[in-house]
DNA sequence: AGGGACACTGACACTGAAGACAGTACTTCC
DNA sequence: GGAAGTACTGTCTTCAGTGTCAGTGTCCCT
């Protein structure tokens, strides 16, 4: 089915998951590592991914805020799929695809 | 990147590829096997997938028309990725995801 | 001769995702 | 004290992807 696409099918979700599959990151780190994304979209996507259970939000509780996102244990199962997707995409680009 | 999503990221594309990864099918067969899709969308997606090189259109040239679609050799490389996606999605549904 | 199947095209309306923009509450640094 | 950073929220607009509806040309079946 396309259930999986409802999880990773946002404009930036695959990219976010890809970044976080390497290591946990803070909100602002992610924002800077994906220049084209707006803060609004980043946060919305992060929240949706947390709701879907693939990301964990770690709030240090300090002020000023310090929030880290990482793949949840469940999210780890998505990592290889996203990896395969990215790798195929890379091959597709090299091929002159799009 | 999300290049791969630009190929399989249509509302029905993953489903279409999934169906065609089992066996080639005619246009009308596909339409009936995906009840919710409209003919318009089916054909648009098929054309895009052909443009992207993952499907091959086989027109028997007869009248009335008899057109079959199948995964191209290149499209075969996408099949396992779509498979992984579907399987993860199934697990996600079982988990109570969405 | 009328109805339906087949694969497809074109013009249009709708919708939801994406983005722009402004604002919150608090802290640190110059 | 003013500026900048941090992680957010709310509202509004825009736009691409979907879907709806009508139409094409030829054939077969009754």
Q: What is the pLDDT of residue B74?
A: 97
Question: What's the longest Cα–Cα distance across chain A?
Answer: 48
pLDDT at B1 over 80: no
Window A:9-68, CB contacts with B under 8 Å: 9, 11-12, 14-15, 52-53
Is A78's Cβ below 8 Å from some Cβ in B? yes
Nearest CB partner across the interface for A89, out of B4, B93, B95: B4
Decide if pLDDT at B97 tops 60: no
Instruction: List, in order of start, the domains of chain A with CATH numbers.
Output: 3-94 (1.10.10.10)
Q: Which nucleotide's C1' atom has the smallest distance to the CA of B44?
A: C8
B65-90: per-residue pLDDT in tens?
Answer: 999 999 999 999 999 999 999 999 99
Contact at CB, B14 and A6, closer than 8 angstroms? no
* Residue A67: band (very low, low, confident or very high) from pLDDT cuts 50, 70, 90: very high
User: Which chain A positions have a beta carbon within 8 Å of B1's beta carbon?
Assistant: 14-15, 86, 89-90, 93
Residue whose C-alpha is closest to residue A84's, from B45, B92, B87: B87
User: Of all residues in chain B, what percent carry a pLDDT higher than 90?
Assistant: 92
Nucleotide with minimal C1' distance from the CA of A60 is D7
Contact A69, A57 (CB under 8 A): yes
Contact A10, A42 (CB under 8 A): no
Q: What is the pLDDT of chain A when averaged over all its residues? A: 94
**pLDDT one-digit tens code per residue, B2-52:** 899 999 999 999 999 999 999 999 999 999 999 999 999 999 999 999 999
Q: Centre a 10 Å sphere on the Cβ of residue B39 and count the other Cβ atoms it contains.
A: 11
Residue A35 burial by Cβ neighbours in a 10 Å radius (0-12, 13-18, 19+):
exposed
Residue A1, pLDDT above cutoff 80:
no
Q: How confident is the model at residue B95 (pLDDT cuts 50, 70, 90)?
A: confident
The pLDDT value given to residue A2: 82
Walk across the sheet containing B67-71 and list its strands: B25-26, B67-71, B55-59
Neighbouring C-beta atoms of residue B68, cutoff 10 Å: 16
Token pair in block for residue A5: 């696409």
Point out which residues pair with A25 in neighbouring strands. Answer: A69
Q: Would the Cβ of A43 be found within 7 angstroms of any atom in strand D?
A: yes
Report whether pLDDT(A97) > 60: no
How far is residue B69's CA from residue A20's CA, in Å, rounded to a whole number? 37
Residues B54/A68, Cβ–Cβ less than 8 Å: no
């Amino acid at each position: 089915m396309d259930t999986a696409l409802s999880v990773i099918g946002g404009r930036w979700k695959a990219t976010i998951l890809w970044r976080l599959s390497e290591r946990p990151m803070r909100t602002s780190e992610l924002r800077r590592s994906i220049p084209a994304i707006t803060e609004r979209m980043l946060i919305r996507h992060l929240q949706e991914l947390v709701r879907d259970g693939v990301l964990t939000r770690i709030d240090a509780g300090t002020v000023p805020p310090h929030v880290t996102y990482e793949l949840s244990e469940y999210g780890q199962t998505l990592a290889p799929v996203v990896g395969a997707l990215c790798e195929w995409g890379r091959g597709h680009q090299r091929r002159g695809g799009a």
